[in-house]
């Protein structure tokens, strides 16, 4: 059977990566978590102290340092999943923590960051046989993907998923706090001025909104 490209888009904590990992495992495809890539760039900026407590980003410094940022995915023999590496260091755990989660949407609005990530993603997926999840995969990274999926989930379910993820790493937040973070990120994701993302996400979110 011929390999294809599978694009999975949707908001945070809707189960995109769970589905993507399962598909990649079943089909023996490569799984690329593009959110992890934006998170790793964010971690890089945090470590350089280019993001302050008010979430102001030293954008120029970060843009200037983009050529120094090398991202990759390494197979984790314990989980059989691929962990993200930042300049050779496995940062899979650290990128999931609140300091990164609370500012990653802002970092991902930087045009130059997006350009670099999209170019890398296209390079990583050029041979097909790939499952890629994110926000702009079916619309921008691989508009010709043979299979495009968009995922949504109830806000309560999303918050619980995220709470479980944090608590498995020894971090505890109230569901309300997590919901607030998710809502903020949804807004930031939707209001991004980049390309067709806003339009496509709004349209898809409207079409898929749970009926009240
Ligand atoms: O899926 P996630 O929560 O790990 O994504 C982290 C952030 O990265 C999210 O706030 C939106 C951004 N992102 C993006 O702008 N484009 C992508 N393809 C993937 C993620």
- Residue extents of the structural domains in the chain: 5-207
User: Cα(124)–Cα(108) distance, rounded to whole angstroms?
Assistant: 19
Ligand 1 site, CB within 6 A: 12, 34-35, 38-39, 104-105, 108, 134-136, 185, 189
Region 186-196 average pLDDT: 65
pLDDT(20) > 90: yes
Per-residue confidence (pLDDT) for residue 22, from 0 to 100: 94
pLDDT(112) > 90: yes
Which atom of ligand 1 is the closest one to the Cα of 39? 6
Residues 4, 147 contacting (CB under 8 angstroms): yes
pLDDT(197) > 70: no
Pick from 93, 107, 40: nearest CA to 70: 40
Per-residue confidence (pLDDT) for residue 204, from 0 to 100: 62
Which residue has a Cα nearest atom 9 of ligand 1?
105
| Domain covering 5-207 assigned CATH 3.40.50.300 in the classification | yes
Integer CA distances (angstroms), 138 to 134, 150, 192, in order: 9, 9, 17
Q: pLDDT-derived band of residue 205, with 50, 70 and 90 as boundaries?
A: low
pLDDT(108) > 90: yes
Mean pLDDT of the chain: 89
Ligand 1 test: best mutation among 91, 104, 149, 204, most atoms within 8 Å of CB?
A: 104
| 146-166 residue pLDDT tens | 999 999 888 899 999 889 988
Q: pLDDT-derived band of residue 173, with 50, 70 and 90 as boundaries?
A: confident
For residue 109, the CA-to-ligand 1 centroid distance in Å is 10
**Strand order through the sheet with 89-90:** 71-75, 82-86, 89-90
pLDDT(113) > 80: yes
pLDDT(54) > 70: yes
SS3 184: helix
Q: pLDDT-derived band of residue 13, with 50, 70 and 90 as boundaries?
A: confident
| Tokens encoding 153 | 């989930």
Per-residue confidence (pLDDT) for residue 81, from 0 to 100: 81
Per-residue confidence (pLDDT) for residue 211, from 0 to 100: 59
For residue 110, the CA-to-ligand 1 centroid distance in Å is 12
For residue 1, the CA-to-ligand 1 centroid distance in Å is 31
| 58-102 residue pLDDT tens | 999 999 999 999 999 998 888 878 899 999 999 999 999 989 999
Region 135-153 average pLDDT: 93
| 37-53 residue pLDDT tens | 999 999 999 999 999 99
SS3 76: coil
Strands, E, within the chain: which ranges?
Answer: 5-10, 30-33, 71-75, 82-86, 89-90, 130-134, 147-151
């Amino acid at each position: 059977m011929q390999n294809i490209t599978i694009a999975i888009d949707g908001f945070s904590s809707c189960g995109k990566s769970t589905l993507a990992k399962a598909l990649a495992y079943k089909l023996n495809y490569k799984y690329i978590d593009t959110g992890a890539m934006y998170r790793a760039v964010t971690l890089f900026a945090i470590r350089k102290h280019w993001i302050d407590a008010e979430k102001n980003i030293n954008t120029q410094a970060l843009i200037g340092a983009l050529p120094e940022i090398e991202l990759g995915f390494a197979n984790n023999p314990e989980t059989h999943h691929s962990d993200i590496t930042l300049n050779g260091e496995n940062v899979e755990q650290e990128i999931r923590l609140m300091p990164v989660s609370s500012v990653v949407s802002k970092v991902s609005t930087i045009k130059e960051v997006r350009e670099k990530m999209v170019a890398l993603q296209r390079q990583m997926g050029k041979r097909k046989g790939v499952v890629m999840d994110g926000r702009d995969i079916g619309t921008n990274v691989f508009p010709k993907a043979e299979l495009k999926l968009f995922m949504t989930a109830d806000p309560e379910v999303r918050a619980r998923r995220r709470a479980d993820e944090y608590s498995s790493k020894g971090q505890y937040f109230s569901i309300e706090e997590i919901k607030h973070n998710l809502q903020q990120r949804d807004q930031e994701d939707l209001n991004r001025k980049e390309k067709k993302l806003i339009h496509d996400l709004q349209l898809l979110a409207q079409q898929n909104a749970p009926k009240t």
